[in-house]
Structure 1
Amino acid sequence: MSEPVAVIVPNFNKAKTLRACLTAIAGQSYRPVEVVVVDDCSTDGSADIAREFDCRLVEMPVNGGPAAARNEGVRCTTAPLLFFVDSDTAPAPDAIANAVRLLGDDVGMVQGIYEPYPLFDDGPVEAYRVAFEHFWRRRAVGRPRAATLLAASLIRRSVFEEAGGLDERLRTGEDTEFGTRMPSRWRLVVTDAVLTRHDDVDRFLPFVREQFGFAVDTPLVMLRARRNPGPTLRVGAMSRTGLLLAGLSLLVLPVTVAVPALLPAWLGLLAASTAASHRFIRFTYRLRGARFALYTTAMHTLLYALLVVATGVGVLRAAHALARGEA
């Protein structure tokens, strides 16, 4: 297959990474016929960086979020194949070529994964985050039902348009929700032959805010997708057992104030929730050694507790939206 490919890059304040992203796109062995950068009202000079490259720059009139930017990029291109690239990533030189090669007659979308090392290594928070993103996305390789993620993915224009594009009401999880609307006759292929390096959040408090926000939004995303049981379902990033144990530990914690004898039980639940991710912790040990594995254990324990609280908030938010008819 040698069909033309259009690359679509949504961008918002990614001056740090956009040059590396566009350089990687320019170096693809399978050359795209169109490269469109959709700047979502950046204030950091990102648009000027895009002007340095042989691409079309589309500037949004208002900040609409990644779904709106991607939809606009699709409207501004004509190629039958769409390759989505996030502006904080840099795809490997053979990423597009491998994706096109895997686009069989019944395949509607080929989805890549992150490499285990950051695009720019800015410390342990980012190293942990990128390692985890690689690990859980790698678990989806070869699975028939996985989440759709548009960081480095090739999709047929006809499939994208038939599904109705991305839901512009969503600021996060829009690609996962999109997967629930993909026509069931098309397969999603998740592959580690399509790799990209990602520059993720590298400070602790922004990491906490980001993860809390994602978890709060997830119930609403699921609610809006409930009438669209398409071919893809989310492969959970976190262990369900771990989340359950973390939730129990949070319920037990207030009781330990009145009944100190329950403190060992609380510690046991907390340790068990983290132990549920033992495969990932072993992976980080092989990746960067014992110190990083210990750091991963602490971060994962925190993340489990954070996601339990945030999901509870998200359920209340989704129920409110449903009651108001906004879902």
Structure 2
Amino acid sequence: MFYKIAQKFMFQMNGETAHNFAITNLKLTANNPLNCLYKQNIPSKPFEVMGVSFPNPVGLAAGMDKDGEAIDAFAAMGFGHIEVGTVTPRPQPGNDKPRLFRLKPAKAIINRMGFNNKGVDNLVANIKASSRKAVIGVNIGKNRDTPVELGKDDYLICMDKVYDVADYIAVNISSPNTPGLRSLQYGELLNELLSELKTKQLELAKQYDKYVPLALKIAPDLSDDEIQSIAQCLLANKIDGAIATNTTLERAAVSHLPEAPEAGGLSGKPLTSASTEVIGKLSKALNGEIPIIGVGGIHSAQDAQDKVDAGASIVQLYTGFIYEGPQLIADITRQLNK
């Protein structure tokens, strides 16, 4: 009930203002009695994925808490894991505003945020200040002004800085909002990136005497051949996991809405089936050798079940969480714990 009232209030604001308002208030209430407004006791049933024990199968996708400011609040809601970021080596403002648009009739969002964040050092400090009551994944990217051919250097910088505070690291090469980024999903650029990250991962594992798994986040806008190629690259470089999928550039399902021409990635219900289809194809290509975290258009427990049936081990929420509220975490956990 509280969430529906809060949602009605925030939906009167533009999307980015509402997002910032929510993060600020979650940060303020996370560790005091006011967190009773959203706190949930979600049953714990560990899911072992990438060698990490997740207390439940529902996580928060990257993008919601880019700078790790409200980790404790999201943990109180019952998320089993929280993926912060996308973070870049240096702070950057992101793309020009407006850059976040709700498509309410479709329960969807278009965003072209452009990796706006306060930089990796700020994120690390926020993670260290949190109570660590959930698994924390860190989603890393490259700065906009770093040439694509040098992009791997930004990922290596971020990996080096977050390794000791992350439970897993997600490599974001699939956002449509940083020019040229998606080209890193293909061919030799992808192989070179994953090879160097794997080498760095093994070096850091020795340095810190702990192994932090590495996952690759991919786009939904891939051909069957591209999915097969990515799978082979993941296997060849012994990457620990895949996250499928990011937002889509496809607009067919929302072409009738006035916001449809806005540039950026589309998320929410229009992405549901496309994401599930990619998960199924990727799972088959990986032959069960690498686990998949399923994300994209999950608005119900059945949507999450469909992702798992397609090959995902656990799931993440973003747009579905905005439209449906924290109850969705409990509903999915109940479904997937059966």
Same fold (TM over 0.5): no
TM-score between both structures, scaled by the size of structure 2? 0.28
Bigger Cα Rg: 1
TM-score between both structures, scaled by the size of structure 1? 0.29
